[in-house]
Amino acid sequence: MSEHQHGYLHRKEDHLKRLRRIEGQARGLQRMVEEEQYCIDVLTQVSAMTKALQSFSLALLEEHMNHCVVDAARAGDAEARDKVTEAMDAITRLVRS
């Protein structure tokens, strides 16, 4: 039996690149506060970073649905229900954030 592969692995390098950009945005925000930049300018960058994280989250969720949930649906009823519940919980957390 083969070990389960996470759905995002085929795009791992792309995801890491996006996360590094987000990390850079976080460092930029720290620098803006250290340099006492204008509040609205800082908030504009917070919004950009938030959108980047949301975009990453949606891409990861899509891969989870297309890979992990679809595989679970093929495996059987109980496993499929568990994966759908797990995905719905993740979606609920994303919507609330």
Distance (Å, rounded) from C-alpha 2 to C-alpha 69?
17
pLDDT confidence of residue 83: 86
pLDDT confidence of residue 11: 86
pTM for this predicted structure: 0.79
Per-residue pLDDT of the chain (97 residues), as tens digits, is 345 677 777 788 999 999 999 999 999 999 999 999 999 999 999 999 999 999 999 999 999 888 888 888 888 888 888 888 998 999 999 888 7
| Identity of the residue numbered 7 | G
Q: Nearest Cα to 88, choosing from 71, 56, 64?
A: 64
pLDDT confidence of residue 8: 75
Domains of the chain (ranges, CATH numbers) = 12-96 (1.20.58.1000)
pLDDT confidence of residue 2: 45
pLDDT confidence of residue 56: 94
